[in-house]
Amino acid sequence: MTHLFWMAVFSTLVAIVFGVVAKGTNRHRLIYGLKVFAQFMLIALALGWVLYFLPFR
């Protein structure tokens, strides 16, 4: 839970910066920021599940 929480905090903060410095209208930048956040979360979760099944110990 700690990992997921801090990953969400990290994704939120980075997405804010990416959205603010992006080009386009405010609406474009807001959507871009949300996309970045969603991508961070989904890719991290997907990678987490992939690594879960790999026998690293």
Partner 1 sequence: MFTTNDGSFFGEGESVVGEKQSRSDFSEAARRRAWLIGAGAWAVPGLGHLIQKRWVRGLFLGGVVWSMFLIGFALGGHLFTIGGREQGLAVLVPALWMVGDLGSGLLYLLCWLLNLGFLETPQATARVTFEYGNTFLVVAGLLNYLAMLDAFDIAARRKQ
Find the shortest distance in angstroms from Cβ 20 to partner 1.
5
* Joined tokens for residue 35: 């996309």
Q: Contact residues for partner 1 (CB under 8 A)?
A: 2-3, 6, 9-10, 13-14, 16-17, 20-30
| Amino acid, res. 22 | A
Taking the C-alpha atoms of residue 52 and residue 2, their distance in angstroms, rounded to an integer, is 17
| Amino acid, res. 56 | F
Find the shortest distance in angstroms from Cβ 46 to partner 1.
19
Find the shortest distance in angstroms from Cβ 23 to partner 1.
4
